[in-house]
Amino acid sequence: MTKFYEVRRRDGAARIGLLSLNSEKKQTPLLFRIDSLSAGEEVIKVIHAEDAIFNDLFQEELHDIPRGAVLLPEVHPLFTKVNEAIPSLFVDCYVLSFASAMLSSPREFVRRIIDARNAIPPDTALWVPAIATAENAALLFYMGVDVIDDTNAVIQGYQGIYQVEEGRVSLRDLEDLPCNCSVCSLLTVDELREKDSKEKLIAKHNTLLLEKEVKKVKAHIRAGSLREYVELKVRSSPFLTAVLRILDLDEEEYFEKRTPVARNHGMMANTMESLKRIEVKRFASRVLERYEPPKRKILLLLPCSARKPYSLSPSHLKFREAIERYSGRIHELILTSPLGVVPRELEVLYPAAFYDIPVTGYWDAEEREWVSSCLRAYLERNAKNYDHIVAHLSGTYKELCSRVAEDLGIDVVYTCKEGEEVTSKEALKRLKERIAELCGDKERLSGFEKKVSMLKAMADYQFGIGAGSELISRKEGEKIKISGKFPAYKLSVHGEVLARIVSEYGLLTLTLKGARRIERFLTAYTVHIGDFLPKGSILAPGVVNADEQIRVNDEVIFVGEKAFGVGRAKMSGWEMVESRRGVAVDVREVEKIEQS
Ligand SMILES: [Zn+2]
């Protein structure tokens, strides 16, 4: 039983946790100070992920550390190497052995950490010793490392290497110290150099810098923005940029299993790596697999807007005005980078209502290729269901669309002329006229119908095709009501709420009644619990089984002999099963099952 480590918060593979040492509880991401380790203040049980002994590790890693400064023999009694015969359940923190070998290549860096993390239980901490710097720490934590130390900072300091956030600089090249720490703020460059040999001040600065970086990473994990921070951090080094690209290409499964389905935080897509984010790929695949377009005569392709949800932007208000009288015959699909295509009904979901991109009018080849592939996949699957396809697009959007349509041999009616803005009077007038010609009779979609199709599509997207129809279908004698202001709709039957849209997270949430209604569609979102009635949260030990595909922030139902209820997942399904500590489900509503 894990007694000493508990994950409290997650942001992708990164975690904030509590590691209990004999003297106190420490929060991860954690920086071990090597001087405090040698003082014997902290005791944890340790085993190497690769079953090498700690002794070897430290001889290999730290043999050139000046004696007296740190660890070496006196540290050994503090760490227990767990006997192979004892199940690893007793281990709380694993140390990656020979970590410096990771620095030989970006691929090795990826391999070593991902393999170690995959080999050990999720509710144990991983310590990657001796290689952390202020430059690479964010990436280490992003990959699922929980503990680092200041060995590298100290060793490099002893060697006269002054570390900065983006790597290191030579003191000889500096006129001023680019740092405000307690060491640097009191000294000039010359004074620092003079005093260093005696007082080891550069090492002190390096450690303080690393400490500050750990604090920054923690703040980003709490805010759900570590990915954005990592994209920014890796820019300082080709090595780290290569690591991130390899992670995105080769370790998709590792990160998909750990990435929440929704966040209450914007998603900045500022770099070419942003296109490869799990959130982007997941959205694109669900639009194909978990979305049924409503049956309408015309598909209308529109460009995205800076303001989200798109419906509230000035440009989309104009589009709506132009097509409103025929809205019952039109299905709207928004073309955008990096999400590809966003059906109107899904615009308030995460990340559709949450992303932001730099808009310059220039698109790079990879961005074009990705957005085109999303449109192509959508049209291949759905084009046959429409009588006409109309594209109210200009510039690159129009170019991409016409290339895809040509490839597929699909006719598209374009309503913007070369060089015309989509919001220009002429273009909007043309849109209105062409839609009128193609539709024939007017047919306006009522506000209620719009809301119904949105709730249906969101339920399908979250739980799978079929859940949406079941949720909104009118049963014998029922009166369905949708109240609330866009996008915070509330679906109810005879005054009892079934579901509501929580726009802060871009999610549809269920009430107990709503969950009962679509229960047969929720098998993949069911957490089986033990023989108890939950009060407050459900903890991991209470989980008997949970579907592998449940992700953080998914809406789930939980079922046990004594209880049925609905809540939000706080860890992935596989993690609920493998963990022995931590909150698995935040309970929203629960009912007691009477035993017969
Ligand atoms: Zn400093």
Per residue in 172-181, pLDDT (tens digit) is 889 999 999 9
What separation in Å is there between the alpha carbon of 148 and the centre of ligand 1?
Answer: 20
What separation in Å is there between the alpha carbon of 57 and the centre of ligand 1?
Answer: 30
Average pLDDT, the chain: 89
CA pair distance 355, 506, nearest whole angstrom: 11
* CB 131, CB 98: distance < 8 Å: no
What separation in Å is there between the alpha carbon of 574 and the centre of ligand 1?
Answer: 43
Candidate from 467-471, 472-476, 479-483, 537-541 with smallest mean pLDDT: 472-476
Q: How confident is the model at residue 89 (pLDDT cuts 50, 70, 90)?
A: very low
What separation in Å is there between the alpha carbon of 204 and the centre of ligand 1?
Answer: 8
CA end-to-end span of the chain: 35
Percent of the chain with pLDDT over 90: 75
What separation in Å is there between the alpha carbon of 172 and the centre of ligand 1?
Answer: 16
What separation in Å is there between the alpha carbon of 233 and the centre of ligand 1?
Answer: 19
pLDDT for res 574? 97
pLDDT for res 23? 62
What separation in Å is there between the alpha carbon of 235 and the centre of ligand 1?
Answer: 22
Q: How confident is the model at residue 59 (pLDDT cuts 50, 70, 90)?
A: very low
Residue 38, pLDDT above cutoff 70: no
Would you give the DSSP letter of residue 303? E
Tokens 């419906």 correspond to 311
What separation in Å is there between the alpha carbon of 203 and the centre of ligand 1?
Answer: 9
* CB 113, CB 96: distance < 8 Å: yes
pLDDT for res 121? 85
pLDDT for res 46? 39
Residue 135, pLDDT above cutoff 90: yes
CA pair distance 404, 399, nearest whole angstrom: 9
The enclosing H or E element of 321 equals helix 314-323
* CB 499, CB 468: distance < 8 Å: no
pLDDT (average), residues 515-540:
96
> In the sheet where 44-48 sits, what is the strand order?
30-32, 147-149, 125-127, 93-95, 44-48, 79-81
Per residue in 348-394, pLDDT (tens digit) is 999 999 999 988 888 889 999 999 999 999 999 999 999 999 999 99
What separation in Å is there between the alpha carbon of 201 and the centre of ligand 1?
Answer: 9
Per residue in 272-289, pLDDT (tens digit) is 899 999 999 999 999 999
CA pair distance 156, 163, nearest whole angstrom: 8
Per residue in 312-334, pLDDT (tens digit) is 999 999 999 999 999 999 999 99
Residue 596 exposed, middle or buried by CB count within 10 Å (0-12, 13-18, 19+): exposed
For helices 395-408 and 365-382, the axis angle rounded to 10 degrees is 50
pLDDT for res 559? 97
What separation in Å is there between the alpha carbon of 35 and the centre of ligand 1?
Answer: 19
What separation in Å is there between the alpha carbon of 200 and the centre of ligand 1?
Answer: 12
What separation in Å is there between the alpha carbon of 221 and the centre of ligand 1?
Answer: 24
What separation in Å is there between the alpha carbon of 215 and the centre of ligand 1?
Answer: 15
What separation in Å is there between the alpha carbon of 177 and the centre of ligand 1?
Answer: 7
- Which of 353, 305, 344 minimizes the C-alpha distance to 445? 344
pLDDT for res 504? 95
What separation in Å is there between the alpha carbon of 218 and the centre of ligand 1?
Answer: 20
Residue bearing the bigger pLDDT, 2 or 433? 433
Residue 506, pLDDT above cutoff 70: yes
CA pair distance 575, 585, nearest whole angstrom: 12
pLDDT for res 442? 87
What separation in Å is there between the alpha carbon of 165 and the centre of ligand 1?
Answer: 11
What separation in Å is there between the alpha carbon of 18 and the centre of ligand 1?
Answer: 28
What separation in Å is there between the alpha carbon of 179 and the centre of ligand 1?
Answer: 5
Q: How confident is the model at residue 48 (pLDDT cuts 50, 70, 90)?
A: very low
Q: Which residues contact 142 (CB under 8 A, 6 or more apart)?
A: 12, 13, 14, 226, 227, 230
Residue bearing the bigger pLDDT, 43 or 69? 43
Residue 79, pLDDT above cutoff 80: no
* Residue 468 identity: G
Which range, 154-163, 170-179, 520-529, is most confident? Answer: 520-529
pLDDT for res 279? 97
What separation in Å is there between the alpha carbon of 29 and the centre of ligand 1?
Answer: 21
pLDDT for res 77? 27
